Amino acid sequence: MSPVGAEGAGPVGVVLVSHSAAVAAAVAELALGLAGGGEGPPPVLPAGGTPDGGLGTSSELIGAAARAVDRGAGVALLVDLGSAVLTVKALLAEGDELPGNSRLVDAPFVEGAVAAVVTASAGGDLDAVVAAASEAYSYRKA
């Protein structure tokens, strides 16, 4: 695993973007619960649903979560469905809505979240967190 980013930077932050606040919160809880030891839990926040509690995605919730988990080592954003991808891509394109070292991660939502959080808790840098989450596509279940 690569060391934590820039000197003085904390762990990589992880934002879990779902169309459902309950799903995002449950996946965050699962990932943090499975991360265990390491250097301690990284900052992980769900950004699910809309501000009024409905289903959908919210650029405001995503941006606030990304800023809250940013410790200077980067922010990995994992998403569940198509419009969540589009929302995060739009935020990244705007350039000032997310912390500068934020990345959309191409990974399965649950398995990728667990891999990202475990890797971040072990001190992995943003590249390592993104790679671990992306490798979750190759997990065989049968």
> What are the pLDDT digits (tens) for 19-46?
999 999 999 999 999 987 666 789 999 9
Mean pLDDT across the stretch 129-139?
A: 94
What local confidence, expressed as pLDDT, does residue 38 receive? 66
What local confidence, expressed as pLDDT, does residue 142 receive? 85
CB 76 within 8 A of CB 13: yes
What local confidence, expressed as pLDDT, does residue 140 receive? 82
The span from the CA of 28 to the CA of 31, in Å, is 5
What percent of the chain is modeled with pLDDT above 90? 82
What's the predicted TM-score (pTM) here?
0.91
What DSSP designation does 15 have?
E
